[in-house]
Structure 1
Amino acid sequence: MATEDDESARPKDGPWQPQADTLGSFIRMQRQLAHLSLREMAAMTAVSNAYLSQIERDLHQPSLKVMQSIAEALKIPTADLLRQAGVTESDATAGTSGADESGYVDTERAIKTDPRLNQAQREALLGVYRSFLAED
């Protein structure tokens, strides 16, 4: 549980800070969408659940190796996690459309990474989208 002390323990400046708050909440949201507990994700990433909790609460900034491990466990591209962390350019600034090599847009990825949606909206959209695919 976050307390006022947790807030004061957060770094207030540095190169990660503009995106730091969104990175932890993004990781937590993706973990919840994957229906994983912290302990389950810790087992999948070989990172302690205490450290994962601190990452989600923006108390620590994960290394690239840890971010790759988290991305694999969440079944999202590492590039998406790096973009969320502000380490790489967004698709818009990189000049790509979010389409894969075949030209198809990865709709589930777009839904999961859209910062304008809350968790309930993401789950609802994913459910509807998957139901359309199941009918084919």
Structure 2
Amino acid sequence: MATLPGGLGEYLREQRKSAKLSIRQLAAVAGVSNPYLSQIERGLRKPSAEILQQLAKGLRISAEQLYMHAGILDERDDSSSEYATVVLADPHLSERQKSVLLDVYDSFRRENELTAGPESDTAAGAEPAEPK
């Protein structure tokens, strides 16, 4: 098994140690097995967004931080990160659906940033005018 890039395992281990939790304790709180959590920390497994959310809850940290370290989420501004957090936490969506939703959202935001300069009303959040 190859180690996955991104530093999630190291970050997760640091957070667990900061919280003074053993692997067993965090695994129990997050509802995963000890070996699975150990494999995540060693970079051998890539957990789903749901597992990351459970781990974040157990560590009492932001799930978004774990999503970023796992490469699921890029650093974003507040409004887009709130959207991404909601999408990633939705248990009714598959991992593929979550990824597609975030890609479409980012695509629309990039398109709007390119077509609407910082001076325009749409960039400031106003609704575009109705065509006449």
TM-score after normalising by structure 1: 0.54
Q: Indicate the larger mover: 27-36 or 77-86.
A: 77-86
Whether 1:24 and 2:16 are equivalent positions in the alignment is no
Give distance in 2, aligned partners of 1:46 and 1:32.
Answer: 18
Q: 1:64 pairs with 35, 49, 62, which one?
A: 49
Alignment counterpart, residue 79 of structure 1, candidates 61, 64, 71: 64
Once the two structures are superposed, what CA deviation does each residue of 1:11-41 show, in whole Å capped at 9, x if it has no partner?
A: 5xxxxx441xx00000001000000001111
Report the aligned-residue RMSD: 1.4
Pairing of 1:1-136 with structure 2 (within 5 A)? 9-10=1-2, 17-19=4-6, 22-90=7-75, 94-95=76-77
Q: TM-score, normalised by structure 2?
A: 0.55
What is the distance in 2 between the residues matched to 1:39 and 1:18?
A: 24
Higher-RCO chain (CA-CA 8 Å, sequence separation at least 6): 1
- In structure 2, runs of 5+ residues without a counterpart are 79-132
Aligned residues between the structures? 78
Secondary structure of 2:74's counterpart equals: coil
For structure 1, the residue ranges without an aligned partner over 5 or more in a row are 1-8, 12-16, 97-136
> Residues 95 and 65 of structure 1: is their aligned pair in 2 closer, same or farther, counting only changes over 3 Å?
closer
Give the share of equivalent positions with the same residue, in percent. Answer: 41
Structure showing greater radius of gyration is 2
Distance, in Å, in 2 between the alignment partners of 1:88 and 1:55 is: 17
Deviations 1:24-81 (A, max 9, x none): 0000010000000011111101100110000000010001111110010010111111
> CA separation in 2, counterparts of 1:31 and 1:67?
13
Report the CA distance between 1:95 and its aligned residue: 4.0
* Aligned-partner residue type, residue 34 of structure 2: N
